[in-house]
Amino acid sequence: MTEPILQVEGLRKDFGELIAVDDVTATVREGGSLAIVGESGSGKTTVAKMIVGLEGPTAGSIRACGRDRSTPARSTAERRRRGREVQIVFQDPYTSLDPRQTVERALDEVLRLHQGWDAERRRSRVLELGELVGLDGRQIRALPRALSGGQRQRVAIARALAAEPRVLILDESVAALDVSIQAQVLNLLADIRDETGISYVLISHDLAVVRQLTEETIVMWRGRVVERGPTAQVLDDPQDDYTKRLRASVPRPGWKPTRRAKAGVGEETDR
């Protein structure tokens, strides 16, 4: 039995008084895919940030590719190596690219960080990456503001892939896209997985997208994991009350939205 490509255990994050993430444990095997499902305030994005090192965990451990990454990287080399292990694509295609940088230069910058290649080799790799995510030569030379939301998200995916990571975290990466574009990007992600054997961690509130892209699911509610299992099982036969309510809230033909309790305590603020 080989070690999982990504493993988090007993993960916890406190922000002052608030426990944002509490005792989260999950694993992703090589080539596998995990969905972290939850709504705003569930702590799912905080988990993603801890995995990629943008936040430090209060307690618990994170291992990727057999190496611990619970504490901040101590050297430049280690920081970059971690970049080659786990990458992330964020939700907002509009702020995820430097407005002053062409696609070409953004990709080149990442290649320079990770590979000791000459300009010629980097150039051809940039074109390769563009091709992989379906951007043509002109789009590669364009500034972000000349690109649509879907095209920008492709660039963000290409930039993450430039580091040739083993795990890619998709933090609501398709949520902001139009339906017809979302389908293109989801298909693209499936193709990339087939081609590279990469593992995905999908952070999402959209259960249909979760069904489409992942095999395993954990459901988070107020910082805790309330349900876990194969995606099909969690969605078709939810056990936890919250998962059931989440599932029932998805509109479908003949759907009749129902009012739960009156709005009350616990819903006062966003924080």
Residue 214 Cβ, how far from another protein at the closest point, in Å? 9
Strand partners, 9: 61
- CA distances to 136, 148, 159, 170, 245 from 99, rounded to whole Å, are 19, 13, 15, 22, 41
CA atoms within 13 A of residue 80's CA, in its CB half-sphere: 12
CA–CA dist 240, 251 (Å, integer) = 20
Residue 209 Cβ, how far from another protein at the closest point, in Å? 6
DSSP for 97-114 reads: S-TTS-HHHHHHHHHHHH
Return the residue of 163, 170, 201, 203 that touches another protein, per CB under 8 A. 163
Number of residues lying near another protein (CB under 8 A): 89
Return the residue of 56, 66, 124, 146 that touches another protein, per CB under 8 A. 146
Residue 239 Cβ, how far from another protein at the closest point, in Å? 17
Binders of another protein among residues 63 to 92 (CB under 8 A) are 73, 76, 79-84, 86-88, 90-92
CA–CA dist 143, 265 (Å, integer) = 47
Taking a C-beta distance cutoff of 8 angstroms, is the pair 12, 70 a contact? no
Binders of another protein among residues 239 to 268 (CB under 8 A) are 245-246, 248-255, 257-260, 262-264, 267-268
Residue 152 Cβ, how far from another protein at the closest point, in Å? 10
Return the residue of 25, 123, 143, 240 that touches another protein, per CB under 8 A. 143
Q: Which residues of 68-106 are buried (b: 16+ CB within 10 A; e: fewer)?
A: ebbeeeeeeeeeebbbbbbbbbbbebeebbeeeebbbeb
Residue 2 Cβ, how far from another protein at the closest point, in Å? 25
Return the residue of 125, 212, 224, 233 that touches another protein, per CB under 8 A. 212
Q: Does 95 bind another protein (CB under 8 A)?
A: yes
Taking a C-beta distance cutoff of 8 angstroms, is the pair 205, 37 a contact? yes
- Pick the piece of the chain touching another protein (CB under 8 A) from 9-17, 63-71, 116-124, 230-238: 230-238
**Amino acid of residue 79:** R
Binders of another protein among residues 1 to 30 (CB under 8 A) are none
Residue 55 Cβ, how far from another protein at the closest point, in Å? 10
- Closer of 126 and 186 to another protein (Cβ): 186
CA–CA dist 240, 218 (Å, integer) = 11
